Amino acid sequence: MIRSAKMQNISPKVQNQLAQLQQVQQQLQAILSQKAQYEMAVREAKRAQEEIKDAADDATMYLSVGTVMVQKKKDVIDQKLVEKVEMLELRIKSLEKQEKLLQGKFEQLQAQIKSAIEGKSAPNAA
């Protein structure tokens, strides 16, 4: 109840900006979570590359394909791991770009809200 009473003192424009700020914050959290998952997958793939690096070229190796393990040659598995790391690193870069854009939007909204609340008639609070 106290919150809604305080919200009544805030203009609809600022309320809208607060809602946008919250939405941007949620999007940022989702991107950071996805980025962390991709970074962990990169570490796992690189660890697997290290493990097979010292194995003999004719060593028996298996590749997980869904729920099935398939026997493959070392060079095939190594190439799959290289491709996986490249693809994940590309996705991470894409997420970092999105993160940077959203961070800028977040900071802009935050400044606009602060200006509107402190000044009540800030000239550039649009």
pLDDT digits (tens, 9 = 90+) for 7-32: 567 788 899 999 999 999 999 999 99
- The confidence score (pLDDT) of residue 119 equals 78
| 70, part of any domain | yes
- The confidence score (pLDDT) of residue 2 equals 44
- Residue 54 has, within 13 A of its CA and on its CB side, a CA count of 3
| 126, part of any domain | no
pLDDT digits (tens, 9 = 90+) for 31-84: 999 999 999 999 999 999 999 998 998 999 999 989 999 999 999 999 999 999
CATH number of the domain at 39, please: 1.10.287.370
- The confidence score (pLDDT) of residue 47 equals 96
Domain hosting residue 65, numbered range: 2-119
Which residue in the block uniquely carries the two structure tokens 């799959």? 80
Count of domains for the chain? 1
Which residue in the block uniquely carries the two structure tokens 């690189």? 46
